[in-house]
Amino acid sequence: MKYLLLTALLILGGCATPPTITTYQVPGSTEAPWRIAGHKSNSGDRIDVTINDSLVCIVDVGPMTSSDEAKAEYKGRKVFCTLQRTSGLTGSGLLCMVMIDGALAAKFEFRD
């Protein structure tokens, strides 16, 4: 029983997708670069976008759609997130792009 529980925990722990993180320096700002992260949900095609550990956007591609977008605001800046299903020779996945005030701030790719 102990080994079954340990095996189940290892399998479930291995299913979690760690966040993809990048930084973005706001033009003209003297504050520290923003830490932008994309967290892929374990169930479905959903990405939670955080800036400096604050949830800013949730984008979710439903079963009958191939893309989604969300708008938000963070520290007075306009944030626009897009999510698209992708497919190619290397397989399928998700592409999430984060724009801040119209400039590309982050691009996250998640492969299935």
Q: What is the pLDDT of residue 92?
A: 87
Question: Among residues 89, 88, 83, which one has the least CA distance to residue 108?
Answer: 83
| 10-residue stretch averages of pLDDT, the chain, 112 residues long | 39 57 93 96 90 96 90 97 89 93 95 82
Q: What is the pLDDT of residue 7?
A: 39
Asked if the structure places residue 52 within a domain, the reply is yes
Asked if the structure places residue 66 within a domain, the reply is yes
Asked if the structure places residue 53 within a domain, the reply is yes
Asked if the structure places residue 7 within a domain, the reply is no
Q: What is the pLDDT of residue 6?
A: 37
Asked if the structure places residue 3 within a domain, the reply is no
Asked if the structure places residue 1 within a domain, the reply is no
Element (H, E) at 104: strand 103-111
The enclosing domain of 42 has a CATH number of 2.40.128.180
Q: What is the pLDDT of residue 87?
A: 86
Domain that holds residue 78: 18-111
Domain count across the chain: 1
Q: What is the pLDDT of residue 8?
A: 40
pTM across the whole model: 0.80
Asked if the structure places residue 46 within a domain, the reply is yes
Q: What is the pLDDT of residue 42?
A: 85
Question: Among residues 39, 77, 40, 37, which one has the least CA distance to residue 53?
Answer: 37
